[in-house]
Amino acid sequence: MSLTHSKKLSKYIMGLGILIFKATKELMITLMDIIII
């Protein structure tokens, strides 16, 4: 039971990491646009 739980947790953490990475990328692009303008 704990093994499947940890698998679910790692999947959730991976998904969260991807979301944060995407959000950071969007933020960086927005910042670059502001700096260029």
pLDDT at 1: 54
pLDDT at 11: 94
pLDDT tens-digit series, residues 1-37: 577 788 999 999 999 999 999 999 999 999 999 988 6
Pairwise CA distance, residues 9 & 7, whole Å: 5
Tell me, what amino acid is at 37? I
- Domain carrying residue 18: 1-37
Take residue 25 and report the two structure tokens written for it. 């990328």
Q: How many domains does the chain have?
A: 1
pLDDT at 2: 72
pTM, full prediction: 0.60
Take residue 36 and report the two structure tokens written for it. 């260029």
